[in-house]
Amino acid sequence: MSFKEKIQAPPGGQARKFLVTSEIGPPKGIETRGLLEDAGLLRDRVDAINVTDLQSSVMRLGSLSVSIQLKQNGFEPVYQLTCRDRNRLALQSDVLSAASFGIENILVLTGDHPKLGDHPQAKPVFDLDSVQLIQVIRQLEQGEDMAGKKLEGRSPKFCLGAVVNPGAQPLEPQILKMEKKIEAGAEFFQTQAVYDIRAFENFLSKTKHLKTTIMAGIVLLKSAGMAKYMNENVAGIFVPDNLIQEIQGAKDKQAKSIEIAARLIKELKPMAQGIHLMPIGWDKLVPKVLDAAGL
């Protein structure tokens, strides 16, 4: 069963399951052997593998290239596509390129500004935003491009996802954007990292009118310093003091990170339709997190 079929399965039905995705960051180079080995640890453990698109505006191997390699090795990739670096010509071309290799899952993002990355002099594009890009991809499915020109041959088919920040303050603009993304054609959402369960419950209570699939994001905590940095610099993320104290006092940071992530997943499982793991370099720990969480 494809990722799209799992998402579209009716709630409560036998085909409906708690979805699990994880994330892989392409290397800063062309060697992908290690990446594919890490992906191999996730075979039959996750429903799809996200491939980040120049995450944090750092120049790396392209997400399309790695998505193709995952597809060719029997995995189901989620091709992350940002509006930051491409105009509407390149965005549509890359979407068609993905479809030509059988890649159907696309997570659409606006993207971080280049000034945050390792090439701060780079000129941002942002020709389209995420809502507009979702609309354009749905138009491609109808057999024509953004200019109204007909595509040749069969039309591509996609499963489109988007992102949302359940901890944003204020929350209302996030919900409004979420509604626009659903109207444009988004089928699932992967959230920013969730550490505050009550804030996530509040988010769900305010979005219960929306008919969509929400996968709660989990970023593996590596240190107290990382947690404090996110609290101070990443909008919408709040790591509670008790978690900071736990990771700070732990002798084995990896073991404690696994324990915290598994605990959060168990708390989130009754609320969300799935979880999305963001290991940020700790890819080899993902199977251990899933084991600890009973997934």
Q: What is the pLDDT of residue 138?
A: 98
Could you tell me the pTM of the whole model? 0.94
Domains of the chain plus CATH, in order, are 3-290 (3.20.20.220)
Question: CA end-to-end span of the chain, whole Å?
Answer: 18
User: Which two three-digit tokens encode residue 43?
Assistant: 């075979």
Among 129, 146, 52, CA closest to 92:
146
List, run by run, the mean pLDDT of 10-residue segments along the chain (295 residues): 88 73 96 96 96 94 98 97 97 98 97 91 96 98 97 96 95 96 98 95 95 96 92 87 92 94 96 96 95 95
* DSSP string over 54-102: SGGG---S-HHHHHHHHHHTT--EEEEEESSS--HHHHHHHHHHHHHTT
